[in-house]
Structures are given as C-alpha cells and as structure tokens.
Amino acid sequence: MGVVGLGERRRGPPRRVVLVDDHRAHAFVEIRLHHAEPGEAVFQRHAVLEVEAGAGADLAKGDAGFVLIRREDIHREAFTLRREYLTAAPRGLAAGNPWFCEYGPELSRGFRALKVWFHLKEHGIRRIAEKVEDNCRQAAYLGELVNTRPELELSTPVSLNICCFRFVASDLTDTALNRINEEIVMDLQESGVAAPSTTKLNGVLAIRVNITNHRSTMADFDLLVNEVVKLGRALVERV
C-alpha cells in the first residue's frame, strides 16, 4: 500500500478514494483513479512506507510502485511475447504461467517487492498506519501554526501529510516573494533545521512540507515556523 503518486503530467482530474484503517478514522492510504483509465489504480509505496523511489518519486521512474488493473487479459495481450526460446512448460523454470514479463516491457527484472515485504514484515501494517496518521496530524498542526502568523499564509488547504505555505510581505511583489521563499528554503536546508522543498501553486512559489519522517515531532514544526519567519524578516530587510 502507499500514497498515490500519479504526478502532474497525467491527463484528467483524479477521482479520489480514501481507504481507512478499520480501527481509525484517519486516512491511511489514498488512491487516485484517473479518468483516462477507469478501473485502474496506481500506488506508490515511497511516500508512506519510506521505500526508495528509484530514480525519482514519479511513478514513471519509481522502483516501488504497482498498478491494479481491471482487465488482466487485455493488459497481458499488449506485452506478451512468447518466442520459441520462451516456450512455457508444465514444470521447471519455464512453469508458473503467466510470467511477469508478460505485463511490461522488461523480460527480466530484480526482486523489487522484497524491500516492501521486509518493511511490512518488520513493522506491520498497524504500526505503519499509526505513523502515517501522526504525519497527517503534524501537517494539520503546521497549517494551524501558519494561520497564527501574519507573515505566513497557506498556499492551499492542508491535505493529508502535506502543508504548503509561504512567507509574505504586503509591500513586495510576487516575484520578490518568490525569491525570498526560495532563499528561505535553501537556508533551512543548509542550516540543517529542516528540509522542505518548493513548488508552484497558482503561479507563485510556495514552501512545500511533505511529512513522511516517523521521527518528526510537533516541536519540529514550532521550530520550522519560527525559523521561516526569522529568515524571511532578515531577507526583507535586505531587499
């Protein structure tokens, strides 16, 4: 299981379905079903199971994603290629139909699922769910902190474990504020205080805090907000 990562390049708005743990009301897994392919769901284990995403978090590059498909037969027919040297057998190495190579372009592949299996085996779904819920609560808490500071504003409502906000100053243009917020993020990263990233929302740059660390505490976000305001004020004085 994992938070869906379809990426901005997918066409059509996603339809969102939230699965919750039987004993909790908080979201554990989010699935986005894109309208282009009804009945198919794409998962990414990178975000909440802390499994590496390969070359990047995008599913096109990710190493820990999987897809659920309604019509297995159609999908297999698109990729299957049984040459003479790939003839099936009732037993031995060529047994066990269908083969994984019939579901994608790779003829052979590594045991990518092993790391996910070990992670679930070691920690268990319930413990992982608890940490996901903690991260979601921390994102909501960060959003509340932002709303209490006049020099900060939420760029979009908090969603699950992600909070996007920015430092603002009424006498500066969006272009100037974009530079200031970018500098704030780089300063935070280099100081070791926090490691947020940036994103663009409604055409302006925002500080993006995607909380997936099981060691994060509420105090970390008190510190983050204080540092963002301090850095922002210092940068405004130099403008």
Q: What is the pLDDT of residue 72?
A: 86
As a whole number of angstroms, the distance between CA 207 and CA 185 comes to: 7
Pick the CATH number of 133-238 from 1.10.8.60, 3.90.1150.170, 3.30.360.10, 3.10.129.10: 3.90.1150.170
Give the Cα separation of 204 and 76 in Å (integer).
Answer: 43
Q: pTM of whole model > 0.85?
A: no
Contacts of residue 235, defined as CB under 8 A and 6 or more positions apart, other chains included, come to 180, 183, 184
Asked if the peptide bond before residue 13 counts as cis, ω within 30 degrees of 0, the response is no
3-state secondary structure 131-165: HHHHHHHHHHHHHHHHHHCCCEEECCCCECCEEEE
The string of pLDDT tens digits covering residues 112-142 is 778 778 888 888 888 888 998 999 999 999 9
What residue spans in the chain does CATH classification 3.90.1150.170 cover?
133-238
For 25-53, write each residue's pLDDT tens digit.
Answer: 334 344 344 333 555 555 555 555 666 65
pLDDT, tens only, 205-230: 999 999 988 899 999 999 999 999 99
The backbone torsions φ and ψ at residue 59, rounded to the nearest 5 degrees and listed phi first, read: -60, -25
At residue 163, what is the residue type? C
